[in-house]
Structure 1
Amino acid sequence: MKRVFLLLIIAMIVSCKNEAKKEVSKKGADKEIKKENFPDELGKVFQTHGGIDIWRKAQTLSFNKGEEVHTSDLHSRKIVINSPKYSLGFDGEEIWLDAVNSGSFKGNKDFYYNLYFYFYAMPFVLADDGIIYEKVADLVFEETSYPGYKISYQANVGTSPDDNYIVYYNSKTFQMEWLAYTVTFKAKKPNDSYHMVKYNTWENTNGLFLPEEITWYKIDETGMPTVPEGPATKFTLPLISEAKLADSFFEKPIK
């Protein structure tokens, strides 16, 4: 509960600072601009969702999935998930779990701790360093075509460098519409078995459009989505801030 209150305080402080700031500082205006390596089309997708510059200035991201509160440091990628029955996270070195009892958390902490961070931080995590981009064939759903780019990773980048993603977007608005992804957790080699997620609705959170509801879809023999696998997954209470949380926030609680 203290963690949640801290996030609310951060949000209020940042909001007040933004209201009081009337002029944009010119300090650092002459600094060298980072050259992006993502395709122009994906650049338009990022811009439609608020802009890559705003994303990179942010330090803290938080959202709720049911009773879970997911909080991330966007630069170090430290993460903590708090719920009434368990907490788990990554403190920069160790993936930890703190549960009320042995049956409180039934998943695999190493797989789960950053799973929904990636789904929620779309499309911006597709601009991380070490990414390789490749144009792919359009996804076709209900007679509408969605252009796409495959995202793969250079060797030894991230926790699962053999994972692949494909982002599909609206050709007119450049809004992200679909995500295809593979799972190689604990596997010794990559696979071509994709899962498919539809991004149903988006929410404006401090200038960035982040997902509000996503749905997993079944796919046919051609790899195209058909019908939902189940109910939509909903995200609530979004927060994104330029304020940085202390490293201790992401550490396993001491009892």
Structure 2
Amino acid sequence: MKKLSFVLLLALLITACKNESKLESTVIEDVSIDDITTSIYPESITKIFDAHGGIDNWNKMQTLAFTMKKPNGKEVTTVNLKTRAELIDMPTHMQGYDGESIWIKDKGENKNDGSRAGFYRGLMMYFYAMPFIVGDDGIIYEEAESLEFEGKTYPGILISYEAGVGASPDDQYIVYYDAETGQMQWLGYTVTFGKDGKSKNFKFIRYNDWQTINGLVLPNSISWHEYKDKTPTALRNTVMFSDVIVSDEAPDNSMFTIPEGAKVID
């Protein structure tokens, strides 16, 4: 019985070897990390990301810096895009975030109580880094009612946050885009910092002036508009951006550390 089993086993092995050469090999194409990253987003927001250079390209970047001209001088913002550590160098003082604490340091005889430091942290970076900033973790995407402006219709995507995400998880954004090109055209946003619950009062910024830096389409300027009945109306003011840096090299993190003489904001 044992001998018979051995013979059968040997016959099966010989048959398998003969058939091996007849099997066609199946090649499974490599799936890159970029493909996986892109696929986690809804088609509509991916279309917007693609129109601005791609979310995967943005995710490679580690440093963002830009300058804004203010009536009393220049305001220079530098951000570590991975840790969100930030330094804002203003004419009257510096404001920083080292990843844990917000701090301010006055220049000369100027005195800043820091009451708006928490609100201002990351504010202009968020506005500047649109639409890529709404590719962060913990975001919920929903279709929004379209925006009508000067005879053109812009589809919208409502952005909200999961509980506990960020300093103001009740904030909401609506990204409005050109249906043909996918390029972002408007941003509706609410302000809930220091308040409880969501707001229905959407303010509006127009995004129709772009520049290409390091393969990414980013704002050259953005314009706030007056609004009525959840619709933008007349132009209010425009903020220009210059000396923009978007780099895949990390910034020197020592610039974000709390300097001597700075005040830490609770």
TM-score range (shorter-chain normalised) is 0.7 to 0.9
Cα distance change, pair 35–141 in 1 and its aligned pair in 2 (3 A)? closer
Q: What CA deviation, in whole Å up to 9, does each residue of 1:221-244 have, x standing for no partner?
A: 2x1111112x21111111001111
CA contact (8 A) 1:88 1:252 kept: no
Runs of 4+ in 1 over 6 A off after TM superposition: none
Is 1:139–2:139 an aligned residue pair? no
Of 36, 57, 61 in structure 1, the residue corresponding to residue 60 of structure 2 is 57
Per the normalisation by structure 2, the TM-score is 0.80
Is 1:238–2:244 an aligned residue pair? yes
Of 219, 222, 233 in structure 2, the residue corresponding to residue 211 of structure 1 is 219
What code does the residue aligned with 1:87 have? M
> How big is the shift at 1:103?
3.6
Is 1:156–2:164 an aligned residue pair? yes
Cα distance change, pair 233–35 in 1 and its aligned pair in 2 (3 A)? closer
Question: Could you say which residue in structure 1 is the equivalent of 2:41?
Answer: 38
> How big is the shift at 1:35?
6.0
Of 164, 168, 172 in structure 1, the residue corresponding to residue 176 of structure 2 is 168
Specify the structure having the higher radius of gyration (Cα). Answer: 2
Aligned-CA RMSD value: 1.7
CA contact (8 A) 1:80 1:113 kept: no
Q: What CA deviation, in whole Å up to 9, does each residue of 1:70-103 have, x standing for no partner?
A: 0001011111011332110110110100112344
Instruction: Structure 2: state its 5+ residue gaps.
Output: 1-29, 262-266
How many corresponding residue pairs? 225
Q: Counterpart of 2:47 in 1: which secondary structure?
A: helix
Of all paired residues, the percent bearing the same amino acid is: 41
CA contact (8 A) 2:58 2:216 kept: yes
> Quick one: distance in 2 between partners of 1:35 and 1:124?
12
What code does the residue aligned with 1:206 have? N
> Quick one: distance in 1 between partners of 2:187 and 2:243?
23
Question: Could you say which residue in structure 2 is the equivalent of 1:200?
Answer: 208
Q: What CA deviation, in whole Å up to 9, does each residue of 1:125-158 have, x standing for no partner?
A: 1111110000011100001000000000000011
Per the normalisation by structure 1, the TM-score is 0.84
CA contact (8 A) 2:38 2:46 kept: no
Instruction: Structure 1: state its 5+ residue gaps.
Output: 1-28
